[in-house]
Amino acid sequence: MFLFRMMNDMKMKKKLALTFISAAVLPLVLSGLFLTGKLREIVIKDALTQISNNVERVQKRTEELLKVPLDISYRLTVDNRMKRVATQQYEDYADVIQAYREYTDIRDYIQLYKEISGIRVYVVNPGALNNWEFIQPDERIMAKTWYKEAIEQKGLAGWNLIKDEQSGSEQLSLIRSFSADSLGRKGVLAINIDQRQLSSILDQESFTTMIVDNKNRIVGSNEAGYWGRELSEMDGDQQILSGQEGSYDTVINGRDSKVVVASLEPENSWNGLRIISIFTYSDMMRDANRVIRLGAIVITASLIFAAVLIYAFASLLSGRLLRLSKHMTRVGSGSWEAYLHIDGKDEVGLLSRQFNSLIRSVHELVQEVQDTNNQKILVEQRQNEMRFKMLASQINPHFLFNSLESIRMEAHIRKQDDIAEAVWLLSTLLRSSLEAGNGSIPLCKELERVRCYLDMQKFRYEDRLEYRLVSDPDLDTMPVPPLIIQPLVENSIIHGLDNREEGVTVWVEISRVPKGASVKVSDNGAGITPERLAGIRAELAESIHEQESERIGIRNVNDRLVLLYGGTSALNIESTPGQGTVITFYIPGGVPVD
């Protein structure tokens, strides 16, 4: 009872400070010491696991890298065209140059595969030339150890650090011999591994990691000073040089270290490589100690800061502030009608009155903003509907004028009764145009309208007009806007036949693409000049058109596509004068048919 009375009589700031010290500081200190010890153990264990995983990752990625030149070497050693170029007898140097120019496989491999940087074919042929791809080996080259080993191994692949004939630098290369012709002559194939690709594998590792060949030469390393050196130059244990696979403790350059060695034996190779990863215990412990020191600093600073804040602000806490806080919580949850009344003329009372006034103002402002937004959305919706109807109606008079003019001219020239067929086609088109509203129609109906229009135009132009309609049957029921393809076909006929006596062919191709369909209208007509094409693209790239334009058909289709589906469905026009025009657009799926 005495303890409770003492706590009740104690001021708020002292009470909170004592509670914080007894209930937070002591448990936090004990927990921090315990967690610090566990953290040290985890860091050490994770470091040991990480180095093993790093070696395994480097081993797998390097093996994948080596598979590329190995596969290319298989192809080249059985490539009779390559052998013929390397061994055939040439009458003069012009024949050699021509043969080298026609054989592009080696250059194609280098451009296609980023894992390799060069390919060299060594075959003795006195009549040939050296061009960094086909090289005539002299006595100096044939005396090289790697060249002799390749000949002796009879087709097996080898991995050596050799000097490149073109760049003059040493690079890790695949070496293998092959039968050059039926006379028993041998050639040697050398494929250089791209050093950047090899370095990119090693540079991602945080510990010192090296790739070593069977002669203990470092062919790759994430340490710039190690590449190309002998492994024996490092002050380390003989276990590293012996090639034993596994992990063990050693001393390198006077520092206790952990070494993990993994072998890499490529397929059908007479030698292999080794992956060696090294990290020192001091580096490992340094990271752990840094984490521990950082944790101790953060915990201490947090405790001091919290204690100061609690002691400084405890006296500010009171029942009136708690009431105000609770009221704010209710308002934050959406209770705009809750008002708080706190007696007093001090800052807390004034704050409560101002807060009540603010709540009323905010409530009225929110209501006003909501009403304004609703009106704005409604106005924009009506404007878009009106604009869409105006755009959809523009195309019918334009099309009717052209169609009637075509039939009139044909009747005047031919004076034949078969004009009835054209009249029937026209009536069908007019009926479908008049029935077209603002909704969607199945794609098959739109294509039927296009086919009807093309048949009528073919009646006019006869053999000067041919057309092809190709559509995925699965897209027949897909909803599309009415009169969305026919204006593009009309444009191809009118402008494609311009000043062309030989006629034109119009293609309409509709294919399935992800989440929709791709529509392509093309012709082999007169085409569009670059200046005129630039003007058309600029006009279509503008916002929805409000005024007349000479390209009413294309403009109308483009505006409706943008209004319905957005900018990704806008028309894309490509044209070459004298070769034709291609217009493509995209229709997304999922729009229901009205």
Answer whether residue 116 is part of any domain.
yes
Q: Looking at 24-104, list the stretches that DSSP marks H as alpha helix, in order from N- to C-terminal side.
A: 26-77, 80-87, 93-102
- Boundary residue ending a domain (317, 335, 354): 317
Whether 399 has a pLDDT exceeding 80, the answer reads no
What type of residue is 120?
R
Query: Within this chain, do residues 443 and 573 fall inside the same structural domain, yes or no?
Result: yes
Of the two residues 237 and 394, the one the predictor is more confident about is 237
Rounded CA-CA distance 61/198 in Å is 9
Question: What residues contact residue 460 under an 8 Å CB cut-off, 6+ apart?
Answer: 406, 407, 409, 410, 422
The values of phi and psi at residue 542, to 5°, are -70, 170
Of the two residues 331 and 565, the one the predictor is more confident about is 565
Query: Within this chain, do residues 393 and 305 fall inside the same structural domain, yes or no?
Result: no
| Number of independent structural domains in the chain | 2
pLDDT at residue 573 in the model: 94
Question: What residues contact residue 195 under an 8 Å CB cut-off, 6+ apart?
Answer: 117, 171, 172, 220
Answer whether residue 152 is part of any domain.
yes
Mean pLDDT of 562-586: 91
Query: Within this chain, do residues 418 and 303 fall inside the same structural domain, yes or no?
Result: no
For residues 51 and 341, the answer to whether their CB atoms sit within 8 Å is: no
Query: Within this chain, do residues 205 and 85 fall inside the same structural domain, yes or no?
Result: yes
Structure-token match 């080696």, residue found = 106
Of the two residues 327 and 304, the one the predictor is more confident about is 304
Structure-token match 């296009």, residue found = 450
What type of residue is 539?
E
Question: What residues contact residue 534 under an 8 Å CB cut-off, 6+ apart?
Answer: none
Query: Within this chain, do residues 288 and 388 fall inside the same structural domain, yes or no?
Result: no
Reported pTM: 0.46
Answer whether residue 340 is part of any domain.
no
- Boundary residue ending a domain (270, 298, 317): 317
Answer whether residue 504 is part of any domain.
yes
What CATH number corresponds to the domain at position 460? 3.30.565.10
For residues 211 and 219, the answer to whether their CB atoms sit within 8 Å is: yes
Question: What residues contact residue 377 under an 8 Å CB cut-off, 6+ apart?
Answer: none
DSSP letters along 134-175, please? EE---HHHHTSHHHHHHHHTTT-BEEEEEE-TTT--EEEEEE
Query: Within this chain, do residues 53 and 199 fall inside the same structural domain, yes or no?
Result: yes
Whether 180 has a pLDDT exceeding 90, the answer reads no
pLDDT digits (tens, 9 = 90+) for 241-284: 666 777 777 777 777 777 888 888 888 888 888 888 887 777 76
Query: Within this chain, do residues 410 and 278 fall inside the same structural domain, yes or no?
Result: no
Chain CA centroid to CA 183, Å? 52
pLDDT at residue 518 in the model: 94
Answer whether residue 546 is part of any domain.
yes
Length of the chain (residues): 594
Whether 344 has a pLDDT exceeding 70, the answer reads no
What type of residue is 526?
A
pLDDT band at 190 (very low <50, low <70, confident <90, very high): very high
Mean pLDDT of 94-108: 89
Rounded CA-CA distance 20/384 in Å is 64
- Boundary residue ending a domain (278, 298, 317): 317
Answer whether residue 481 is part of any domain.
yes
Domain range spanning residue 544? 380-588
DSSP letters along 315-336, please? GG--HHHHHHHHHHHHHHTT-T
Answer whether residue 361 is part of any domain.
no
**Rounded to a whole number, what is the distance in angstroms from the first to the last CA of the chain?**
81
Asked which of 12-21, 243-252, 358-367, 481-490 is least confident by mean pLDDT, the reply is: 12-21
Mean pLDDT of 81-108: 88
Query: Within this chain, do residues 132 and 40 fall inside the same structural domain, yes or no?
Result: yes
Question: What residues contact residue 110 under an 8 Å CB cut-off, 6+ apart?
Answer: 116, 117, 118, 119
For residues 199 and 220, the answer to whether their CB atoms sit within 8 Å is: yes
**Mean model confidence pLDDT for the chain:** 78
Query: Within this chain, do residues 396 and 308 fall inside the same structural domain, yes or no?
Result: no
Rounded CA-CA distance 252/362 in Å is 72
Of the two residues 554 and 20, the one the predictor is more confident about is 554
- Pick from 150, 161, 148: which is nearest to 215 by CA? 161
- Pick from 474, 420, 480: which is nearest to 449 by CA? 480
pLDDT at residue 507 in the model: 95
DSSP label at residue 22: I
Give the 3-state secondary structure of residue 128. Answer: coil
Q: What is the dihedral of CA 210, 211, 216, 218, to 10 degrees?
A: -70
Query: Within this chain, do residues 497 and 569 fall inside the same structural domain, yes or no?
Result: yes
Neighbouring C-beta atoms of residue 151, cutoff 10 Å: 15
Rounded CA-CA distance 339/371 in Å is 24
Query: Within this chain, do residues 308 and 394 fall inside the same structural domain, yes or no?
Result: no
- Pick from 467, 457, 472, 487: which is nearest to 557 by CA? 487
Q: Which two tokens stand for residue 175?
A: 């070496």
Query: Within this chain, do residues 439 and 530 fall inside the same structural domain, yes or no?
Result: yes
Q: Which two tokens stand for residue 36?
A: 């610090």
Rounded CA-CA distance 25/300 in Å is 10
Helix then strand then coil, in percent of the chain rounded to 5, is 55, 20, 25
Whether 382 has a pLDDT exceeding 50, the answer reads no
DSSP letters along 432-501, please? HHHH--SS-EEHHHHHHHHHHHHHHHHHHHGGGEEEEEEE-GGGTT-EE-TTSSHHHHHHHHHHHTTT-T
Answer whether residue 330 is part of any domain.
no
pLDDT digits (tens, 9 = 90+) for 114-167: 999 899 999 988 878 888 888 888 888 899 989 999 999 888 999 988 887 777
